[in-house]
Amino acid sequence: MFGRKKADQSSGSTAVRAAAVKDSPAPSAHGAQGRDGHSPQAKKGRPTPTRKEQEAARRRPLIPEDRKAAKAESKLAVREQRKVAQAGMAAGDERYLGPRDAGPQRRFARDWVDSRFNIGEYVLIFLLLIFVLMWLPVQSVALTLIWIVYGYILLCVLDAVIMTTRMHAAMRRKFGTVQRGTRWYAAMRTFTIRRLRLPKPQVRRGERPA
């Protein structure tokens, strides 16, 4: 009877110790240390930076020390970027062209206009001439010259219509469909002096556009 009670107490204490061992947290890999007192996970071939060094690496100055020099440097960078963009736009680089000039059809239209001599290239000069002639003292001579200028402008319009019609037919053969507004885009380019056109002409007169 006493032997059974001792056996029950012994088995109960063994079960309690087993449950305690089961519930106790296992040592983590980060907490495990070797004989030298250091974690084996911490050995990376280089010393671990201190907290002060980590904070210094993350720190970024919100306001530069020399604000005047920083402002001048920023203006210089913006000026250089603007020069690059202007040069790219003048050269017809697609990366710097706006929505009005971008695209293969607009490039074809520019090359079509630039490959020929357009009567309307000097229309702005003739419009300025009309303004000057209106102030001549001899009204009969001024009136005659004005009619001549008006006739020239009419020829410019007819030339632009014929040119854009032929260009439209060529674009239909090449692209299948023509982007809306391309004829007006090409016509406005014919009324601009060749040296003042933007983007700059990429073909010579008489050269067939690609």
- Domain boundaries, position 141: 103-196
Q: What is the pTM of this model?
A: 0.62
- Whether residue 141 is contained in a domain is answered as yes
> What pLDDT, on a 0 to 100 scale, did the predictor assign at position 59?
65
- Whether residue 163 is contained in a domain is answered as yes
Could you tell me how many residues make up the chain? 210
- Whether residue 13 is contained in a domain is answered as no
Which one, of 113, 90, 78, 95, lies nearest residue 204 by Cα? 113
- Whether residue 176 is contained in a domain is answered as yes
Are 105 and 183 contacting, i.e. CB atoms less than 8 angstroms apart? no
> What pLDDT, on a 0 to 100 scale, did the predictor assign at position 158?
96
How many structural domains comprise the chain?
1
Are 111 and 206 contacting, i.e. CB atoms less than 8 angstroms apart? no
Are 193 and 127 contacting, i.e. CB atoms less than 8 angstroms apart? no
- Whether residue 84 is contained in a domain is answered as no
C-alpha Rg value of the chain to the nearest Å: 42
> What pLDDT, on a 0 to 100 scale, did the predictor assign at position 35?
46
Which two three-digit tokens encode residue 31? 């907490």
> What pLDDT, on a 0 to 100 scale, did the predictor assign at position 87?
87
| DSSP letter string, 64-117 | -S-HHHHHHHHHHHHHHHHHHHHHHHHTT-GGG--TTT-SHHHHHHHHHHHTS-
10-residue stretch averages of pLDDT, the chain, 210 residues long: 45 47 46 46 64 70 67 82 86 89 95 94 85 76 81 93 96 94 95 92 88
- Whether residue 133 is contained in a domain is answered as yes
- Whether residue 157 is contained in a domain is answered as yes
- Whether residue 18 is contained in a domain is answered as no
